[in-house]
Structure 1
Amino acid sequence: MPEWLVEPGIGEDRAILVDHGTIVAARVCWREPWRAGAVSVAQLDHRYPGSKRGAVHLPDGTTATIDALPADVTHGATLMVRITRAALAEQGRFKLAQCRAAGVAAPAPAPAPAPAPSLAETLAQTDSPVRILGGLDRSFDEAGWDDLIEQAQTGAIDFPGGRLTISPTPAMTLIDIDGPPPLLPLALASVPAIARTLARLDIAGSVGIDFPGQDTRADRQAIDLALDAALSATGWHGERTGMNGFGFVQLITRLERASLVARLAFHPARAAAHALLRQAERVAEPGTLMLVAHPAVLAAIAPPLEAELARRTGRLVRKDPRNTLALHAGFAQATTS
């Protein structure tokens, strides 16, 4: 039976759904306070005329967009909200967190303020069991975590006969399919890889798939049927369009958080910092921990994260910034000097 493995790291919680030694799904949580599921008091900043939408201020000053506003809630009013999507970074812009008015439907009482559920708590609501791993457990490595992260970084996923290229954009996540003809076998061969990739890289929201163009309606329908079957097999839930004459298909499903691809594309230094902290926690040799990395990566290790590393390992921590290192080429080692 597939099992969720959860690794609570420093600044980051990671989870993989493993089936027969293979990662079939993955999630990452950076413990942002305003994640899906958080409930909080908020103050209405404004609402759009004739609409149920507007913006609110959360207790720490964060602004979030809001939907499902009751008609009698006006500027400055205090109300309870539930976060439905975390804030998202995109190329050239930043999307605010989203929320909805909570507890406004009588006779249900308004919910009490509550933090977002942890990654483990969220996964406990799925059909698969959840196991929390210790800091020195190597199950992620054995299942292929590094290969998964490489796919998320490059956006390149090979399949028999071709390659997928994943590109996050402000409008949607795009999946392009490349490979030699004949084009119908190429498109059909890409379908299982697409369905697996959506789960493995935690891709949701609006997804555009650019299949190789097909000459006949029958070929397009064959690809549609294959895509339906592959998505259903992975437990995907959402809506999709039929393939148009240019080979384009759009998938739409609920978006609650950034995908692995988006996190690595728009927060590369922070992602590299979390990976470096994970590596540092596992250094076995005695001595002071030396973190050697690009300055941007070391700058992304906030003092509380450095303190957590020192607490977990019982060691002093030093930093060695090196401009010549790529962001993900940092390393940790023990030193006696």
Structure 2
Amino acid sequence: MSRDAVIRVSVSPGEVRVAGLVDDRLEAAWIERPFQPDGVGDLYLARVSAISPAMSGAFLTLSEGLTGFLPESELPPPRRPIAKALQDGLALPVRVTRAAQGGKGPRVTARLKPPELALAEGARAPALLKRGDDAALRLARAWDDAPIITDGAAMAAGLRANLDHGRITLHHGAVFDAELEEAFAELASPRVALPGGASLTIHPTPALTAIDVDAGSLAGSRDGVAHERMNIVAAQEVARQIRLRNLAGAILVDFAGLSVRRRDALVAPLAEALQGDPLGPQLLGMTRLGLMEIVRPRIHPPLHEVLGLPPTALTLGLAALRQALREVSARPGTPLRLVAAPELVQALAAAPQALDTYRLAAGRTLVLLPDRELRLGEERIEELPA
């Protein structure tokens, strides 16, 4: 990783935002909610609940209310058909390899290393044995020489327990500046601005993600060279947005202003732009309609499932808690209330861990006041009347 790389970890009530910057440009982004971990890397002593030869796998009870799927290919050796290798009720140590996403539960593997298997000794199924690494630690290990700056004391302590202490700085104050806050806010929008008025629009669907390139001021122009240059710039941003938003599965890209024949010239630039992705997405080529086909492994949930698109009541509520803490820092001791749409208040009430974190950080409770006249996005923070 470049010497000009840095990792910034912003900790706020109910949410951790991780930014990887190279030469001050956002190149990696993660948003996690500690009270809703995605579970990748978690170790369980699971119990087989249903064997499905037709699906070449088995469903396992990981914990109360949580079921995972074990593909036959993820059984430990020797290789045998799933119906012969397992039986209902069997206790089996597994690790989560893919988070629940797209309406499907987590996927697991039973191919574990001896230290992982040792954790299951003496446990009773079903049981969580160990949590996997969080986003900050994953990025820190991937960018193994990048300094890490965080505003969370517990986060700093956790990172120091696993990494060289000299890499980690506990910063007293916000670690996201206004530009970085804006960059993260843009990740919650389907539109991405490009130079010259061009843009990308990102459309997630249950089956695939479609990315449309709009030519902006070049729309209607017959200058093929200018269109090609614009699309090459778009290809670079497409690859970056796929990484930042953690888009996965099938991805189709519709470039702008070029005939299907001329779009062949974009295959090589797009393939090159995708090469820096740690998940190794594959550019499968171009369809007969001129759409570029990309497939990228599904591991962690895409950002639009974490935040919602448009942002959910919980996403907006956690952002309001973050803003309220900033106001408390600017006016210490001032009692505040959050006036918001009832569904936002309900979403925060269902996340008591986030409200408790706010209370500990602010030294007082944030009063929640539902207002039926307000819509999501119209919430406001006010000084509590005497």
Would you say same fold, with TM above 0.5? yes
Whether the aligned pair in 2 keeps the contact of 1:41 and 1:81 (CA below 8 Å) is yes
Whether the aligned pair in 1 keeps the contact of 2:151 and 2:174 (CA below 8 Å) is no
After superposing on structure 2, the runs of 4+ consecutive aligned residues of structure 1 that deviate more than 6 Å are none
In 2, the alpha carbon distance for the partners of 1:294 and 1:96 equals: 31
Structure 1 residue 241: Cα displacement: 0.9
Structure 1 portions without partners, runs of 5+: none
Whether the aligned pair in 1 keeps the contact of 2:358 and 2:365 (CA below 8 Å) is no
Matches within 5 A, 1:218-237: 219-233=262-276, 237=280
Which is higher, the Rg of structure 1 or of structure 2? 2
Whether the aligned pair in 2 keeps the contact of 1:290 and 1:318 (CA below 8 Å) is yes
AA in 2 matched with 1:97: P
Structure 2 portions without partners, runs of 5+: 77-81, 120-128, 153-171
AA in 1 matched with 2:281: G
SS in 2 for 1:300: helix
What's the counterpart of residue 174 of structure 1?
210
Query: Percentage identity across aligned positions?
Result: 26
Q: Which range is displaced more, 66-75 or 41-50?
A: 66-75
Whether the aligned pair in 2 keeps the contact of 1:21 and 1:143 (CA below 8 Å) is no
1:133 aligns with 2:168: no
What's the counterpart of residue 154 of structure 1?
189
SS in 1 for 2:141: coil
Whether the aligned pair in 2 keeps the contact of 1:39 and 1:111 (CA below 8 Å) is no
1:138/1:307 CA distance change after superposition, 3 Å: closer
What's the counterpart of residue 51 of structure 2?
47
Whether the aligned pair in 2 keeps the contact of 1:120 and 1:130 (CA below 8 Å) is no
Structure 1 residue 76: Cα displacement: 1.6
Whether the aligned pair in 2 keeps the contact of 1:85 and 1:256 (CA below 8 Å) is yes
Structure 1 residue 198: Cα displacement: 1.7
Whether the aligned pair in 2 keeps the contact of 1:86 and 1:97 (CA below 8 Å) is yes
Structure 1 residue 109: Cα displacement: 6.5
In 2, the alpha carbon distance for the partners of 1:212 and 1:45 equals: 50
Find the partner of 2:40 among 36, 40, 43: 36
Number of corresponding residues: 329
Find the partner of 2:106 among 97, 112, 130: 97
1:185/1:111 CA distance change after superposition, 3 Å: farther
SS in 2 for 1:207: strand
In 2, the alpha carbon distance for the partners of 1:236 and 1:57 equals: 28
1:239 aligns with 2:282: yes
In 2, the alpha carbon distance for the partners of 1:66 and 1:296 equals: 37
In 2, the alpha carbon distance for the partners of 1:275 and 1:194 equals: 27
Whether the aligned pair in 2 keeps the contact of 1:208 and 1:248 (CA below 8 Å) is yes
Whether the aligned pair in 1 keeps the contact of 2:140 and 2:148 (CA below 8 Å) is no
What's the counterpart of residue 296 of structure 1?
343
In 2, the alpha carbon distance for the partners of 1:21 and 1:186 equals: 23
Q: Which range is displaced more, 5-14 or 228-237?
A: 228-237
Q: Which range is displaced more, 74-83 or 121-130?
A: 121-130
Whether the aligned pair in 2 keeps the contact of 1:212 and 1:247 (CA below 8 Å) is no
Structure 1 residue 224: Cα displacement: 0.5
Whether the aligned pair in 2 keeps the contact of 1:52 and 1:69 (CA below 8 Å) is no
In 1, the alpha carbon distance for the partners of 2:116 and 2:260 equals: 56
